[in-house]
Amino acid sequence: MLSTLYKFPFAFAIVYYGVIPLGYLTKWWTTDDKMKGNSTILVTGGAGYVGSHTVVELLNNNYSVIAIDNLVNCYSNGQNEKPESLKRVEKITGETVTFYNVDIRDREALDKIFKLHKIDSVIHFAALKAVGESVQIPLTYYQNNIAGSSTLFEVMAKNGVKSLVFSSSATVYGNPQFLPITEEHPTGQGCTNPYGKTKYFVEEILKDVCASDADWKVVLLRYFNPVGAHESGLIGEDPSGVPNNLMPYISQVAVGRREKLTVFGSDYRTPDGTGVRDYIHISDLAVGHLKALEKMLDPSFASWKAYNLGTGRGYSVLEMVKAFAEASGKQIKYELAARREGDVAACYADATLAKNELNWTATRDIKDMCKDTWKWQKTNPKGFQKS
């Protein structure tokens, strides 16, 4: 019935004008992006950790999704096959994700996708993200994250798609000058590693793009520390090699893949001496992207705006270890070690602006974060690779 209604105007047009350009018909028959009634979102880095969880929320909320990824950081059975994370997303949602194995540095391939699909907005996750690695191979990070992003923005502008949600990070604030960190906190000062600088630079590039062309609408989402997994346990964080972040490390200790956790710094001026961070459940973070998309649709929204996505509450390393032990029923072996250069004592968000302007707030607590991480880890001890 619905499809009949959709086809009616075209039938009418054929009768009335006699002929419809072939390209138009082809487009109509080959893509049904708009059939779902909501917008079509291009998600770069859609197979990654934050990407895949965001795609779940998009599909559950009636968006059509075109996901692209170069697969450097996610598991797939082959270069031409849909990555495992997106197959799982389809299992969770019962919806289909259109996927392309495309690198954002590949201008021609990007352009083809914009020509093939009627894309309304872009959520841009694609980036390299390992802090330590970025110090070792900075040019690779600048090429991927800066040159790649700027190529994506050029192709978007060329195709008239000028609304974007950018996956930024609290790392743009550098060493916090005050706590909790508001969006007014200076950015770019004391970003000590290339990864953090690429996030800051892309923010600056987007600000300049918005200043140059009033048609652009951009939301910069500054993530604090995303953890957890989808409640189904089907998707989650799947770092290659030794995890860079606390939570996957803890969970790999719990599941027996690593012997013990090393806690860097136990003499910080925090309640228990270990570093305090603002952990946020990945599904809450994902919902934040939908709220950002809705915000951009508001006619009053213009130019760019940055929002913190955090809970506003900090937890120490040892609090996380304890919570994870309780959720998993496993003992988490750890040792205390010296501070790591570049680490700060505490970092947590003032999340008021997102609450007031995006109508978004984190709803999942530390127990949910640990429980869902453990469910994912336990059922997928080797991540997406066939266990």
Least separation in angstroms between residue 237's CB and a copy of itself is: 26
Residue with tokens 């953090």: 196
Nearest to residue 121, comparing CAs of 292, 299, 355, 303? Answer: 292
Question: Is 16 known to be catalytic?
Answer: no
Strands (E), 216-368: 217-223, 225-227, 261-264, 276-277, 279-281, 303-309, 315-316, 334-337, 346-347
Give the torsion through C-alpha atoms of 164, 197, 174, 185, to 10 deg.
-40
Ranges within 32-51 binding a copy of itself (CB under 8 A): none
Overall size of the chain counted in residues: 387
Task: State how beta strands 303-309 and 217-223 pair.
Answer: parallel
Residue 152 vs 235, nearer CB to a copy of itself? 152
Size of the site for a copy of itself (CB under 8 A): 25
DSSP 82: P
- What is the per-residue binding string for a copy of itself in 81-120, x denoting contact by CB under 8 A? ----------------------------------------
**Residue 19 binds to a copy of itself (criterion: CB under 8 A):** no
Q: What is the C-alpha to C-alpha distance for residues 72 and 132, in angstroms, rounded to an integer?
A: 17
In sequence order, the β-bridge partners of residue 315 are: 277
Outline where 298-365 has alpha helix (H): 317-328, 352-353
Residue 62 vs 189, nearer CB to a copy of itself? 189
Least separation in angstroms between residue 138's CB and a copy of itself is: 4
Residue 150 vs 303, nearer CB to a copy of itself? 150
Q: How far apart are the first and last CA of the chain?
A: 44
Please give the radius of gyration of the chain, using alpha carbons only, rounded to the nearest integer.
Answer: 22
Q: What is the C-alpha to C-alpha distance for residues 86 and 135, in angstroms, rounded to an integer?
A: 30
Residue 86 vs 152, nearer CB to a copy of itself? 152
Residue of 63, 100, 195, 279 marked active site: 195
- Coil vs helix vs strand at 145: helix
Nearest to residue 217, comparing CAs of 153, 155, 171, 172? Answer: 153
Binding residue for a copy of itself, selected from 176, 188, 239, 273, defined by CB under 8 A: 188
User: Do the Cβ atoms of 2 and 32 come closer than 8 Å?
Assistant: no
Residue 146 vs 285, nearer CB to a copy of itself? 146
Residue 146 vs 327, nearer CB to a copy of itself? 146
Least separation in angstroms between residue 239's CB and a copy of itself is: 22
- What is the per-residue binding string for a copy of itself in 204-233, x denoting contact by CB under 8 A? xx--xx-xx---------------------
User: Do the Cβ atoms of 304 and 218 come closer than 8 Å?
Assistant: yes
**Residue 177 binds to a copy of itself (criterion: CB under 8 A):** no
Helix (H) or strand (E) holding 37: none
Least separation in angstroms between residue 150's CB and a copy of itself is: 5
Tokens (6 digits) for 166: 């950018």
Binding residue for a copy of itself, selected from 71, 113, 131, 135, defined by CB under 8 A: 135
**Residue 346 binds to a copy of itself (criterion: CB under 8 A):** no
**Residue 189 binds to a copy of itself (criterion: CB under 8 A):** yes
Residue 146 vs 286, nearer CB to a copy of itself? 146
Q: What are phi and psi of 148, to 5 degrees?
A: -60, -50
Q: What is the C-alpha to C-alpha distance for residues 85 and 90, in angstroms, rounded to an integer?
A: 9
Q: Candidates 36-44, 66-74, 198-206, 316-324: pick the segment binding a copy of itself (CB under 8 A).
A: 198-206
Q: What are phi and psi of 385, to 5 degrees?
A: -60, 145
- What is the per-residue binding string for a copy of itself in 140-159, x denoting contact by CB under 8 A? --xx--xx--xx-xx--x--
Binding residue for a copy of itself, selected from 34, 138, 334, 365, defined by CB under 8 A: 138
Least separation in angstroms between residue 102's CB and a copy of itself is: 18
Least separation in angstroms between residue 319's CB and a copy of itself is: 34
Residue 90 vs 133, nearer CB to a copy of itself? 133
Catalytic residues: 195
Q: Rule CB under 8 A: which residues touch a copy of itself?
A: 135-139, 142-143, 146-147, 150-151, 153-154, 157, 188-189, 194, 197, 201, 204-205, 208-209, 211-212
